[in-house]
Amino acid sequence: MLDFLFYCFLGILFTYIILLVLILMGDCDLYLQFASKFGKKPSALKGKVVWITGASSGIGECLAYELAKAGCKLCLSARREQELNRVKKQCLLHGNIKEEDILVLPLDALKFETHSSATQDVLKYFSKIDILVNNAGRSQRALFEETSLDIDREVIELNVLGVLSLTKQVLPHMLERKEGHIAVMSSIAGKLSAPSSASYTGSKHAIQGWFSTLGVEMSDRNIKVTLLCPGPVFSNLLETAFTGKAGEVWNKYNSIKSLIVPLLHMYLVLWNLRVIQ
């Protein structure tokens, strides 16, 4: 009996050591590592119509390149049409798609009244929307007591209400077709709290609640809902972040990124350790 318990203990210890090594060596959580290794390849998405918001830079831009390589048909949206055309050019240059497979559709996530017509434009061009990637958003950096209510409102309108508004326009189409996938760019800030980013963290916690509920409601209706929670990512997100005052931009990312990234990575490690316990 003691030998059995000893071997059980060794098995559990060995399992935890393996999981810890995977976490420390990986750049994502354990679920994503498993899916990357054993899940479907990006090429399985060939021919799917994917609408990406916030596609002019950062994660949205890089996602567009990967999906273009996979042979997806893309609708690229953001406020800056010139940057969208740049991304389109790169997609055509390095991807596995043709000119007619990409629709550049300028969109301001805060102009809710345009979301219905934008959705109809995508449907008119492609006849369907298989995947909606809600990626548009902005970060925020300031202490809680230094952040005005106006900033809280702006962050919530962009990061939460803008996402909800567009999703509510696309969802009826997916329900009518009885298939679809809604992906939402949350953040590790949707799981953990960090100082000097209460507005941003609060908006991502809100996203988690809204779309987790949507996922439950859609679980038996063939509509998939995925919440993406990236950790540290090199992009212009913090260069354009809100501060605590209206009209200001933080724009300090380049000077302190060497400090931010290790801290965020440590948060990610700690969160994974908490999950597997």
Q: Which helix (H) or strand (E) holds 77?
A: strand 73-77
What whole-number distance in Å separates Cα of residue 72 and Cα of residue 255?
A: 37
What whole-number distance in Å separates Cα of residue 190 and Cα of residue 225?
A: 16
252-to-67, 122, 141, 146, 147 alpha-carbon distances in Å: 31, 36, 10, 17, 17
- The catalytic position among 16, 31, 125, 200 is 200
Identify whether 253 is a catalytic site residue: no
What whole-number distance in Å separates Cα of residue 155 and Cα of residue 138?
A: 7
What whole-number distance in Å separates Cα of residue 6 and Cα of residue 8?
A: 5
* Nearest C-alpha neighbor of 154 from the set 202, 189, 209, 118: 202
Written as six digits, the tokens of 101 are 């497979």
Which residues participate in catalysis according to the annotation? 200
